[in-house]
Structure 1
Amino acid sequence: MNRRPTLLAALTLTAAAALTLSACGSDDSSKGKDNDKIAGADTGDKASPSAAPSEPGTSGRPEIELPSDVTYEFEWKKTGDSQKDAVLNDAEQRIRAVDMAIAKQDPLDKAYRFYSEGTAAAESQKYIQEFVDHKARTTGLTRYYSESLTIKGDGTAALVYCEDQSKAFNKFLKTGKTDVTPVTKDSYVVYAGTLRKNDKGVWVTERLISQRGSAKCQP
């Protein structure tokens, strides 16, 4: 079920590096990589608008529409701090936008690039391309929880959070077959990202790393 990127062997929470992606079907455990099988869905699935609101006062945000079988549970709590809540909102929108690009089979889709720059955008493009190459997309429910957010002195934001992929899978575009795999400790992933507010008022993700099977995220 490992539909997300291959994970880095080590996670540095204070200085997030680029998200690293693996080739579908690879099996190189000696390098700390997972065998991330990709399956896909039929292209006739109806898209549904993103339920998450855009940040008030920021115009020009892309509309995010996803297939009806791509759903989320964001358990990120409102902080009451407008700046921190804006960071969490834009991080959520980036996640949705990447899945939309996968569903659209468009590695250059403008929505995820609206919410990411630098190495995060470049590596997301590679990740989306893997799904395109295998004519696949995501399906199911993904849960996000245990977030930790710090606004640093240089104006950037450091965001760490967990992802539960136990109910999220891959589907083949041509057959509609869902690749349902057993739930293991590797179904739970920790992410660490660095975000920066750009001149459009959007908190873009610049760097992102992840580690599958993290003890921090186990149920």
Structure 2
Amino acid sequence: MNRRPTLLAAIALTATAALSLSACGSDDSPKGKDSDRIAGADTGGETSVSPTASASVSVERPKIKLPSDVTYKFEWKKTGDPVKDAVLNDAEQRIKAVDMAIAEQNSLHAAYRFYSEGEAAAGSQKYIQDFVDYKARTTGLTRYYNEGVTVEDNGTAALVYCEDQSKAFNKFLKTGKTDVTQTSKDDYVIYASKLRKNKDGVWVTGHLESQRGSAKCQP
């Protein structure tokens, strides 16, 4: 099983292809270094884009609470555009909500479903269930970077980002053992997602594709 999503086999950037990601080094099985790991999503610890004033405050959002050993480093920069910053904030919360569902071993957790729908929600459910079946969860630090976001006039947005899983691993609940493996190019994953703003003002992810080992995300 892989640490992060093998939910979707290959990335087809389609509408997001216009977003150019600079070379890395310069944003739902555990980890993807080998076939023994699961692949999953986020919350936790290090610096991240904090909720901005542009994020909806009228709706009660799920509280994200993760084990202390599940941490993140979001290098997503504030754009100064309140709409784009809200998209980035809600995408971050979705990632963390998936990791919370994994930690709580609940593939139908309300938190990730708050931030996702359709194909993305179904993919996350399957991804989380893989961890449940293996009685495992995520541990370690996951980094998100090289983000690119575009917003359309019709209330939709496209987001592309990279993920570094080289310091994130699978932890098996029965034994407490962490499955640490050597770093490989497959630890670097590129994602393309499509979001829409729902009636509550939340940017919900409806479509998510990923590709491991992307040249765009290598250090």
TM-score class, shorter-chain normalisation, is 0.7 to 0.9
Q: Deviations for 1:64-111, whole angstroms, at most 9, x for unmatched residues? A: 000000000000000000000000000000000000000000011100
Deviation of 1:36 (Å) = 5.1
**1:162 corresponds to which residue?**
162
After superposition, where does 1:51-200 map in structure 2 within 5 Å?
Answer: 52-53=50-51, 55-200=55-200
1:2–1:187 Cα contact (<8 Å) kept: no
Distance 1:147 1:187, change over 3 A: same
Q: Distance in 2 between matches of 1:178 and 1:9?
A: 26
1:139–1:168 Cα contact (<8 Å) kept: yes
2:162–2:191 Cα contact (<8 Å) kept: yes
The answer to whether 1:10 aligns with 2:35 is: no
Q: What letter corresponds to residue 76 of structure 2 in structure 1?
A: W
Residue ranges of structure 1 left out of the alignment (5+ in a row): 26-33, 40-46
Q: Distance in 1 between matches of 2:36 and 2:148?
A: 27
2:120–2:206 Cα contact (<8 Å) kept: yes
Superposed CA RMSD: 2.5
Residue ranges of structure 2 left out of the alignment (5+ in a row): 17-27
Q: Distance in 2 between matches of 1:183 and 1:164?
A: 10
TM-score (structure 1 length as normaliser): 0.83
2:166–2:187 Cα contact (<8 Å) kept: yes
1:65 aligned counterpart, secondary structure: coil
Q: Deviations for 1:153-186, whole angstroms, at most 9, x for unmatched residues? A: 4321000000000000000001110000110110
2:138 aligned counterpart, secondary structure: strand
2:14 aligned counterpart, secondary structure: coil
Distance 1:114 1:105, change over 3 A: same
Q: Deviations for 1:37-60, whole angstroms, at most 9, x for unmatched residues? A: 249xxxxxxx97997437352321
Alignment identity in percent?
72
Q: Distance in 2 between matches of 1:187 and 1:176?
A: 22
Deviation of 1:14 (Å) = 1.9
TM-score (structure 2 length as normaliser): 0.83
Question: Size of the alignment, in residue pairs?
Answer: 198
Q: Distance in 2 between matches of 1:48 and 1:158?
A: 24
2:147–2:159 Cα contact (<8 Å) kept: yes
Q: Distance in 2 between matches of 1:3 and 1:155?
A: 32
Q: What letter corresponds to residue 174 of structure 1 in structure 2?
A: K
Q: Distance in 1 between matches of 2:210 and 2:36?
A: 14
